[in-house]
């Protein structure tokens, strides 16, 4: 992240504390979505009005017992997680952080626009980095659902031989010099990682108390660990818990659609095209987009074969999706339904980024996916009978899922100068 106004680390903790617990209290009020279905105003008197199947609230998210979010030290753990999330020193060559592929301004998707993301040493990955808005509510993580909690997932990129490459041979040789990489944690996989982050100091922040600027020394991991966990001893357990704490603050609730869905009649006053697009999106008799992109985050959190033709990945292999995890052949070439929040900012699309624009995505679904694809989801239809204006209106609706307050939230800024 570049060209941002500096934020006081001292005030950051208080801001995040208030932000997080306000969201937490709001999310804890479960709603029966069946009883909170707003009627969508009909922009075309010739059509029958439809009801919105999108709930007004995301409900509650499950937090592992070993990493509660209501602890007094939670703000400090979030701050530690923010430092770790954006720290390129976690990769063996200092090139890659979690934030390299998950940028706040892009809804925590990859801002570089590549089909698949790049990691350590310029190595190209095989999948497109998904956006992370509202990941606290997910029950599966990654395209194939390999992980069930944010804690489980947090260490995956750190030890992946394409992303951050933190793994070492049985002798403990540093992979920078040995050239030995693999993705399985080993006995010596933390030694060089901890050594690289030890003593790291965040960039100096500017505070402005009483209208006079005061330099505040950037924090080191020693002070961050003490504040968050009462220890200065590094451990993978505390690293993954801290990153997960930070990621659980990625809450997006302030899009134009959210205003509309919560009863603001003016939200689409000057954009009837988007309102018509929403009607089409939720029309189960025509597009049935909501068949998969349902719920508060526009994802059913299930796995589907969406009709993409099978093509080799960048390393020449075939990505078979969920079946690699479940071992159930019925899951062949199924991938997790991605959230559509801030989708206009997260191009390209699909698990391998093969669709560059929302126009390409809509053209693909209009035709029922690629031809001659086995195990295709039966919800896909060979022709949706949509004209160009219909397609344009659906895309216009998808743009209203963008949440500027989320993408420009200063609590998500990197604390590092590079």
Distances (CA, A) of 141 to 78, 130, 322, 325: 20, 10, 11, 12
Q: CA-to-CA distance for 263 and 342, rounded, in angstroms?
A: 20
Taking alpha carbons only, the member of 400, 392, 359, 403 closest to residue 269 is: 400
pLDDT band at 7 (very low <50, low <70, confident <90, very high): very low
pLDDT at 146 over 50: yes
Cβ 198 vs Cβ 161: under 8 Å? no
pLDDT digit string (tens) for 74-113? 999 999 999 999 999 999 889 999 999 999 999 999 999 9
pLDDT digit string (tens) for 36-80? 333 344 444 333 333 578 999 998 888 999 999 999 999 999 999
Total-model pTM: 0.84
Q: CA-to-CA distance for 373 and 305, rounded, in angstroms?
A: 9
Contacts of 135 (CB under 8 A, 6+ apart): 141, 150, 247, 248, 250
Say what the pLDDT of residue 160 is: 87
Average pLDDT of the chain is 84
Say what the pLDDT of residue 336 is: 98
The count of other CB atoms within 10 Å of the CB of residue 356 is: 14
Say what the pLDDT of residue 195 is: 87
Percent of the chain at pLDDT > 70 equals 79
Enumerate the CATH 1.10.760.10 domain ranges in the chain, comma separated: 39-59+256-402, 74-251
Using the 8-state DSSP alphabet, how is residue 84 labeled? H
Contacts of 38 (CB under 8 A, 6+ apart): 51, 52, 56, 261, 263
**The CATH number of domain 74-251, selected from 3.40.50.2300, 3.20.20.80, 1.10.760.10, 3.40.50.720:** 1.10.760.10
- What is the fold, at CATH topology level, of the domain defined by 39-59+256-402? Cytochrome Bc1 Complex; Chain D, domain 2 (1.10.760)
pLDDT band at 18 (very low <50, low <70, confident <90, very high): very low
Residue 39 phi, psi (nearest 5): -85, 130
Q: CA-to-CA distance for 110 and 103, rounded, in angstroms?
A: 6
pLDDT at 314 over 50: yes
pLDDT digit string (tens) for 327-385? 999 999 999 999 999 999 999 999 999 999 999 999 999 999 999 999 999 999 887 88
User: Helix 272-282 vs helix 388-399: angle between axes, to the nearest 10 degrees?
Assistant: 100
The two tokens of residue 108 are 């925590």
Q: What share of the chain is helix, strand, coil (3-state, %, to 5)?
A: 35, 5, 60
pLDDT at 29 over 90: no
pLDDT digit string (tens) for 255-299? 999 999 998 989 999 999 999 999 999 999 899 999 999 999 999
The two tokens of residue 313 are 């990945």
């Amino acid at each position: 992240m570049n060209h941002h106004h500096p934020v006081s680390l001292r005030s950051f903790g208080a801001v995040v504390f208030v932000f997080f617990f306000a969201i937490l209290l709001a999310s804890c009020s479960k709603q029966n979505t069946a009883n909170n279905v707003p009627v969508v105003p009909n922009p075309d008197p010739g059509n029958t009005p439809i009801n919105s199947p999108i709930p007004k609230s995301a409900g509650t998210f499950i937090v592992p017992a070993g990493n509660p979010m209501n602890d007094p030290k939670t703000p400090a753990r979030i701050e530690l997680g923010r430092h770790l999330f954006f720290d390129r020193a976690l990769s063996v060559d200092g090139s890659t952080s979690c934030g390299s592929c998950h940028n706040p301004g892009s809804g925590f998707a990859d801002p570089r626009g590549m089909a698949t993301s790049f990691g350590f040493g310029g190595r190209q990955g095989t999948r497109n980095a998904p956006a992370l808005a509202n990941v606290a509510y997910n029950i599966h993580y990654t395209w194939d659902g390999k992980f069930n909690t944010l804690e489980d997932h947090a260490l995956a990129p750190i030890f992946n031989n394409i992303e951050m490459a933190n793994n070492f041979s049985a002798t403990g040789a540093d992979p920078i010099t040995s050239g030995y990489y693999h993705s399985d944690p080993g006995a010596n996989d933390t030694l060089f990682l901890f050594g690289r982050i030890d003593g790291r100091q965040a960039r100096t922040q500017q505070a402005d108390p009483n209208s006079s600027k005061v330099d505040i020394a950037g924090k080191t991991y020693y002070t961050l660990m003490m504040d968050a966990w009462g220890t200065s001893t590094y451990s993978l357990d505390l690293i993954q818990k801290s990153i997960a704490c930070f990621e659980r603050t990625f809450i997006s609730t302030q899009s134009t659609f959210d205003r509309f869905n919560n009863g603001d009649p003016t939200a689409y006053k000057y954009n009837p095209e988007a309102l018509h697009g929403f009607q089409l999106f939720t029309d189960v008799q025509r597009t049935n987009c909501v068949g998969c992109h349902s719920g508060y985050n526009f994802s059913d959190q299930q796995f589907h074969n969406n009709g993409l033709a099978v093509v080799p990945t960048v390393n020449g292999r075939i990505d078979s999706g969920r079946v690699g995890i479940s071992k159930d052949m019925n899951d062949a070439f199924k991938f997790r339904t991605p959230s559509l929040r801030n989708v206009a900012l997260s191009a390209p699309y699909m698990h391998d980024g093969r669709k560059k624009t929302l126009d390409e995505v809509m053209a693909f679904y209009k035709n029922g996916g690629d031809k001659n694809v086995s195990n295709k989801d039966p919800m896909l239809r060979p022709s949706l009978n949509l004209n160009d204006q219909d397609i344009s209106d659906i895309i216009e609706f998808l743009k209203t899922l963008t949440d500027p307050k989320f993408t420009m939230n200063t609590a998500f800024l990197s604390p590092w100068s590079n």
